[in-house]
Amino acid sequence: MDAPRRGRPPKHWIDLDAAERAELIAELGLPKFRAGQLDRQVLVRLSEDPEEWTDIPKDDRAVLAERCAPKLTWLVRDQVADGGTTVKSLWRLHDGSLVESVLMRYGVPGIRASGRGRDRSTVCVSSQAGCGMACPFCATGQGGLQRNLSAAEIVAQVIDSARRLRDSEVPGGPGRVNNVVLMGMGEPLANYAAVLKAVRTITSPAPAGLGISARGVTISTVGLVPGIRKLASEGLPVTLAVSLHAPDDELRDELCPINTRWPISEVIAAAKQYFLSTGRRVSIEYALIHNVNDQSWRAEELASVLRGPNGYGWVHVNLIPLNPTPGSKWTASQPEVTDEFIRRLELRGVPVTVRDTRGREIDGACGQLAASEAPN
């Protein structure tokens, strides 16, 4: 399950903790306070251009840029939808690996496609180039795993969205990132250390972090039980999402092959433990696939599997209409079947919502990220 080490990106400020940052500054023979200055440039002013670091002398800027804050992500292209409020970005990494991130702004007055409610923005980021989990209905799973991203490569995707929103590059005027979801390419818990470091940087208060609320961060996993247990012990109130997709091991073995290693009972037990440790309601992801996992009896079975000693207070089911992927034999469930699935869950008292399909026409929705340069 370990990713190949080739193509390791250069070390970046964001990959270092506070002590390591101070150490590096000392090693470079720079005054101590340069650390705080660099924090502010990179994490508060969101600037990756040393020319803009005008509070730092020119010579020191060059050293800092090269040794502490090398450029890690190059924008290949953007694709937009929903009146500009959904932006999928394709990034090239230093070794040529490609990943995608998706920025979604909601509740923009005058843009109906952005939906209702208050103005808020979510950025969906990748944690690996490719993915090794091989779920057959997911486009990312088809290409295999290239490599883990570093913490700085993960955070760079968030910084880019934060900068675009701040600078009004997305319709709706100046905005900010409210939510970060690790639901892009890759399995976050298979790249545990870098993901944790990234989340700590995202949620630390300025100037050492981006100052986004941990409650606004969601880590989604296919169900790596040791990773879920470890995450529960970090004292970080992030939301855990578990991609379940089937209530029975026979079907889940097929839809999520890692299930043969950690079956449903173990995944659910770890998820319940996560709730007990953090008090955060766990989100169960379930992509509804026509005639595969959408039968009424499976809705009943799902309700049974999720029932805790105190009912359903620990959990929330998020149904995802299956998004099309190249070469897949599967299609989305019929609307009546979806409604019946929801009704069965609601009758049993299971909290349930249906996820929107933002970005579908630019292959930016769940399970569609494949990061190729081919024009579409």
- Say whether 124 is catalytic: no
Question: Between residue 234 and residue 253, which ones bind ligand SAH under the rule CB under 6 A?
Answer: 243
Taking the CA atoms of 218, 72, 185 and 46 in sequence, report the sign of the dihedral they define: positive
Q: Is 159 helix (H, G, I), strand (E, B) or coil?
A: helix
Residue 285 touches ligand SAH, criterion: CB under 6 A: yes
Which of 68, 131, 135, 366 is flagged as catalytic? 366
Sole window of 33-41, 155-163, 224-232, 321-329 interacting with ligand SAH (rule: CB under 6 A): 321-329
Reading the block at residue 338, the tokens are 């979806």
Select the residue interacting with ligand SAH from 325, 341, 350, 362 (CB under 6 A): 325
Least CB distance to ligand SAH at residue 185 (A): 8
Residue 137 touches ligand SAH, criterion: CB under 6 A: yes
Residue 220 touches ligand SAH, criterion: CB under 6 A: yes
Residue 366 touches ligand SAH, criterion: CB under 6 A: yes
| Alpha carbons 208 and 220: distance in angstroms, whole number | 25
Reading the block at residue 112, the tokens are 């109906």
The residue (of 85 and 220) whose beta carbon lies closer to ligand SAH is 220
Which of 100, 153, 187, 285 is flagged as catalytic? 100
Residue 320 touches ligand SAH, criterion: CB under 6 A: yes
Question: Among candidates 112, 122, 113, which has minimal Cα distance to 88?
Answer: 122
Q: Contact 62/30 with Cβ under 8 angstroms?
A: no
If one counts every other C-beta atom within 10 angstroms of the C-beta of residue 8, the result is 12
Q: Contact 356/314 with Cβ under 8 angstroms?
A: no
Question: Among candidates 17, 358, 23, 4, which has minimal Cα distance to 197?
Answer: 17
The residue (of 108 and 129) whose beta carbon lies closer to ligand SAH is 129
Least CB distance to ligand SAH at residue 356 (A): 12
The residue (of 175 and 321) whose beta carbon lies closer to ligand SAH is 321
State the DSSP H helix or E strand holding residue 202, giving kind and residue range, or none if neither. Answer: helix 192-203
What binding mask, one character per residue, do residues 168-187 give for ligand SAH by CB under 6 A, x or -?
---------------x---x
| Alpha carbons 198 and 179: distance in angstroms, whole number | 14
- Say whether 100 is catalytic: yes
Least CB distance to ligand SAH at residue 183 (A): 4
Output the residue with the shortest Cβ distance to ligand SAH.
367
Rg (CA), the chain: 21
Give φ, ψ of 224 to 5 degrees.
-80, 100
Reading the block at residue 318, the tokens are 């998020």
What's the burial of 310, exposed, middle or buried (CB within 10 Å: 0-12/13-18/19+)? Answer: exposed
In the chain, count H helices and then E strands: 11, 12
Residue 232 touches ligand SAH, criterion: CB under 6 A: no
Number of residues near ligand SAH (by CB under 6 A): 18
The residue (of 16 and 222) whose beta carbon lies closer to ligand SAH is 222
Binding site for ligand SAH (CB under 6 A): 133, 135, 137-138, 183, 187, 220-222, 243, 285, 287, 320, 322-323, 325, 366-367
Catalytic positions, written as ranges: 100, 366
